[in-house]
């Protein structure tokens, strides 16, 4: 069978694949875009868009229950219609996926193939019964939930972040195994929908990559809403108990027994069934495709973008991967992965926005540093909204004034963080932020105040 020839093949239609296909097609290339399941990848189908749609519903329910705090009287108790919540979530996802499919369908020089692509050689892939070949191949195959080999895990029905999206009814008691970003968003969301929720985390604290004060504040937020949290929970195992599921942990502690179990214990790259060995593409011990600073693999003519390369696990890092590849290939602009500053958010309520280094990382670096912090109880906008949990913290180099990092845990934290992130990209010193005039009343207006009150980091 002869292979169909293209100028470029893009495998995976997540956040990097379609826009790259669009740039290549606009540059006059003949492109094949291959997707084995849903256009849009994790973000559109099981990640950002559906979960944040549900977070919005959960926030509405939570705010309604607090109506009396704002002097608003409701005629009866607040109820939750989970089927309508799911229907709204599904519409958000389906609309986004449909728009992407329409956009791709309008690219005259791009052919969309549905199926699982596997390498035959370094420049040829098989999709179903068809062979496709191109001198340039771009991988954007994403990742999936990890399912560790814990005792009894295969003996019980468990959920992942993807299968959670298909639930038709509300769990009476949701047990969340894992204490990081995905797990905590689901925990708070379903608690606000009315489920009893228990979180079990084997590490000594939640969100272990954050500073201890941030982890403690997050724990307080969750516990204030009636979520049971167990940290330091070693020896986790699972067993059926009648129609329910028992999760046992930390010898001597009673098992948590619930109707549903969500496993949120990290991600695994979708690289194990691509035939990478046939192409000679190198992967690391965890299965991530090894790439250089411009996202090139060890095989000339093959690039890897998004979650499969281990350089980031977010929609924005995947899209930035596309921008880096396109800039180098099409714009004569030598952009690099190492140019970007780490930034992300945790979408509990209130959200956490983070950029740059943590306090722990700054201390480990040995740099002389300054720190400023302010609780949300001393932020007027937070007080006015009645949402005073959390705090803001800024770190700067004591010798150069370089802004090293920032955390904003509070109302609008996922948006306010960009005030600092953009200054970091501009390489502006902390004095620039200190002299800025921000709009009142906002959460962001206190960032210049914090910058004026920095003290040595102990």
At 360-410, the pLDDT tens digits run: 999 999 999 999 999 999 999 999 999 999 999 999 999 999 999 999 999
Q: Is 440 a catalytic residue?
A: yes
Element (H, E) at 369: strand 369-375
Q: Which residues of 355-379 are buried (b: 16+ CB within 10 A; e: fewer)?
A: bbbbbebbeeeebebbbbbbebeeb
Element (H, E) at 56: helix 48-65
At 152-197, the pLDDT tens digits run: 999 999 999 999 999 999 999 999 999 999 999 999 999 999 999 9
The pLDDT value recorded for residue 153 is 97
Q: What is the CA radius of gyration of the chain?
A: 24
Nearest C-alpha neighbor of 287 from the set 388, 146, 171, 393: 146
| End-to-end CA, the chain | 68
Does 84 have pLDDT greater than 80?
A: yes
In this structure, are residues 417 and 353 in contact, taking their beta carbons and an 8 Å threshold? Answer: yes
Q: Which residues contact 72 (CB under 8 A, 6 or more apart)?
A: none
The sheet carrying 8-11 orders its strands as 110-114, 31-35, 8-11, 136-139, 302-304
Does 1 have pLDDT greater than 80?
A: no
Give dist(CA 187, CA 264) in Å, integer.
11
Provide the whole-model pTM: 0.96
Question: Residue 68 — pLDDT band, cuts 50, 70, 90?
Answer: very high
For all residues of the chain together, what is the average pLDDT? 97
Rounded to 5 degrees, φ, ψ at 190 are: -75, -25
In this structure, are residues 5 and 308 in contact, taking their beta carbons and an 8 Å threshold? Answer: no
Equal CATH topology for 4-144+268-339 and 343-456: no
The hierarchical CATH code for the domain 153-265 is 3.50.50.60
Rounded to 5 degrees, φ, ψ at 268 are: -120, 130
CATH 3.30.413.10 fits 343-456, yes or no: no
| Integer CA distances (angstroms), 85 to 66, 167, 353, in order | 20, 11, 26
What would the two tokens of residue 373 be? 């912090």
What would the two tokens of residue 31 be? 């492109």
Element (H, E) at 219: helix 212-224
Average pLDDT over residues 248-265: 92
Per the residue annotation, which of 173, 260, 418, 440 is the catalytic one?
440
What would the two tokens of residue 57 be? 């519903």
DSSP bridge pairs for 133 = 5, 124
At 52-64, the pLDDT tens digits run: 999 999 999 999 9
The hierarchical CATH code for the domain 4-144+268-339 is 3.50.50.60
In this structure, are residues 161 and 146 in contact, taking their beta carbons and an 8 Å threshold? Answer: no
Map out the domains of the chain as residue ranges.
Answer: 4-144+268-339, 153-265, 343-456
The pLDDT value recorded for residue 288 is 98
The pLDDT value recorded for residue 458 is 86
| Integer CA distances (angstroms), 1 to 115, 125, 130, 131, in order | 18, 12, 8, 8
Share of the chain above pLDDT 70, in %: 100
At 261-310, the pLDDT tens digits run: 999 999 999 999 999 999 999 999 999 999 999 999 999 999 999 999 99
State whether residue 398 is helix, strand or coil. Answer: coil
Average pLDDT over residues 314-330: 98
What would the two tokens of residue 348 be? 């509990």
Angle, CA of 31, 36 and 41, to the nearest 5°: 85
């Amino acid at each position: 069978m002869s292979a169909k020839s293209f100028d470029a093949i893009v495998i995976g239609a997540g956040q990097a694949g379609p826009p790259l296909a669009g740039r290549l097609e606009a540059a006059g290339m003949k492109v094949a875009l291959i997707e084995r399941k849903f256009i849009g990848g994790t973000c559109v189908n099981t990640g950002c868009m559906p979960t944040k749609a549900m977070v919005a519903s959960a926030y509405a329910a939570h705010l309604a229950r607090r109506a009396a705090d704002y002097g608003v009287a409701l005629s009866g108790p607040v109820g939750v219609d989970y089927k309508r919540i799911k229907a709204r979530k599904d519409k958000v996802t389906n609309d986004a996926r449909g728009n992407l499919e329409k956009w791709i369908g309008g690219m005259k020089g791009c052919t969309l193939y549905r199926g699982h692509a596997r390498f035959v050689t370094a420049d040829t892939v098989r999709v179903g019964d068809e062979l496709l070949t191109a001198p340039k191949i771009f991988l954007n195959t994403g990742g999936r939930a990890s399912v560790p080999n814990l005792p009894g895990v295969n003996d019980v029905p468990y959920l992942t972040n993807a299968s959670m999206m298909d639930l038709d009814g509300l769990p009476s008691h949701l047990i969340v195994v894992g204490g990081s970003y995905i797990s905590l968003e689901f925990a708070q969301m379903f608690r606000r929908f009315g489920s009893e929720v228990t979180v079990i985390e084997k590490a000594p604290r939640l969100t272990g990559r954050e500073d201890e004060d941030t982890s403690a504040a997050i724990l307080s937020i969750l516990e204030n809403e009636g979520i049971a949290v167990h940290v330091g929970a070693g020896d986790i195992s699972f067993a059926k108990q009648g129609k329910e599921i028992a999760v046992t942990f930390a010898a001597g502690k009673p098992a948590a027994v619930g109707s549903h179990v969500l496993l949120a214990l990290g991600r695994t790259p979708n690289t194990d069934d691509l035939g990478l060995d046939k192409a000679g593409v190198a992967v690391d011990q965890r299965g991530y495709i090894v790439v250089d600073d411009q996202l090139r693999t060890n095989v000339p003519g093959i690039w890897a973008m998004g979650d499969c390369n281990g350089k980031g696990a977010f929609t924005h890092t995947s899209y930035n991967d596309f921008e880096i590849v396109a800039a180098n290939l099409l714009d004569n602009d030598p952009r690099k992965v190492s140019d970007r500053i780490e930034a992300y958010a945790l979408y509990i309520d209130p959200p956490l926005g983070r950029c740059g280094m943590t306090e722990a990382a700054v201390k480990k670096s040995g740099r002389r540093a300054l720190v400023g912090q302010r609780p949300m109880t001393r932020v007027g906008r937070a007080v006015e909204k009645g949402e005073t949990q959390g705090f803001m913290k800024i770190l700067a180099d004591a010798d150069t004034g370089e802004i090293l990092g920032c955390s904003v845990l509070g109302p609008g934290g996922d948006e306010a963080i960009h005030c600092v992130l953009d200054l970091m990209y501009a390489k502006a010193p902390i004095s620039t932020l200190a002299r800025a005039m921000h709009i009142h009343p906002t959460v962001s207006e206190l960032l210049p105040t914090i910058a004026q009150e920095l003290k040595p980091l102990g």
